[in-house]
Chain A
Amino acid sequence: MSATPTNDPAASRARLRGALRPRASRSQIVIGLLFALLGLGLALQVRSTAQSDGLTTARESDLVRILDSLTNRNDRLAAERADLEATREALKSGTGQSSTALADARSRAATLGILAGTVAAKGPGIDITITDPAGKVDAATLLDAVQELRDAGAEALQIGNVRVVAQTWLLDGSNGGITVDGTTLTSPYRMVAIGDPRTMSGALRIPGGVVESLRNVGADIQVTEQVQVQVTALRVPESPQYARPAPSR
């Protein structure tokens, strides 16, 4: 501090005040400009430091390291995403398969229900009324009619209010009438069959067939083909006592 002219604080303050006194000289304007630049830079730098995420001022090596870790993370996330997508695909196709299987099972249940007589059925078919005032119609005749209808492709059949299925049996009643599956029916016998109406009525009317033999014994039979008939009689399914499903080959 050998260049210091004086160490008197009062004189120093006076000199500082003198220097701060505004003078409109050119160099003072330049100095003011420089200070304005400094203030501007300060404000900008403080603001950008406050809001920067640290990457703008980071060095190249740091940036490379950050980029590396980001790339690794990206790879990991991409692998995870691929896994999740595969899982989703599997789940989606799984539900697709099970819903197809469900629809399949439903339609199969409907088909089997019609065959077993556990559900009502409707469709084109014929309506048959057999009037037998003399009591000449026996179970065998009615069974002939049933077999004829089955041969002609009847898919659902009922006699009176009894559904006719594979296990249905017919028996001559003890005092007239016919017992079908334990229910005794009397004349007139009404049958409803679902199938191709023309084929079925044709099958009944062939020479020497059901219609002719019924007329021969003095009974009357009316067959009407209809666009829509309903088989509403139901049968309670019985579990087979001996037969068990065997795996098909």
Chain B
Amino acid sequence: MIAVLGLILGIVLGLVLQPAVPLWAQPYLPIAIVAALDAVFGAVRAAVEGLFDDRVFVISFLANVSVAALIVFLGDQLGVGAQLSTGVVVVLAVRIFSNAAAIRRHLLGA
């Protein structure tokens, strides 16, 4: 519940305050968001399966975001930023889909 409230609060804050994204963070923000979404879906799946652990979620969230940003940074340094970003997004999307499928199976039995 607190998580949902936090999400809504963040969206409202972003829409109302409209802070400027610092230039250095602009290439990483989209990838970091997708990585965070992956962590969130993993957490929901764990909660549904009764395996949810606060500590594991916090660490996986931060690690996902950091690794995604690091990969993009590395890709930019190597000159394959666009391709590597695409790769990261594809992998994360696949994971989100599989997690969503597991959640659906558990909640709906189908």
Contacts and interface: CB of A to CB of B under 8 A. Distances in A.
Interface of A: 1, 3-5, 7-9, 12-13, 15-16, 19-23, 25, 27-45, 47-48, 56-57, 59
A4 to B, nearest CB: 6
B72 to A, nearest CB: 12
Given A5-B49, A20-B3, 14 more contacts: A4-B106, A7-B105, A9-B106, A13-B107, A31-B6, A32-B3, A34-B36, A35-B4, A36-B6, A37-B36, A41-B32, A42-B11, A43-B11, A43-B15
B21 A48 contact: yes
Interface of B: 1-15, 18-19, 21, 26-27, 29-30, 32-33, 36-37, 40, 44, 47-52, 54-55, 57-58, 61-62, 81-82, 102, 105-109
Contact of A35 (B7, B21, B54, B82): B7
A41 B36 contact: yes
| Residue in A19, A28, A59 whose Cβ sees the most chain B Cβ within 10 Å | A19
A21 to B, nearest CB: 6
**Interface SS of B by simple majority:** helix
Nearest to B46: A19
A3 B52 CA distance: 13
Contact of A9 (B21, B40, B109): B109
Contacts of B14: 39-44, 47
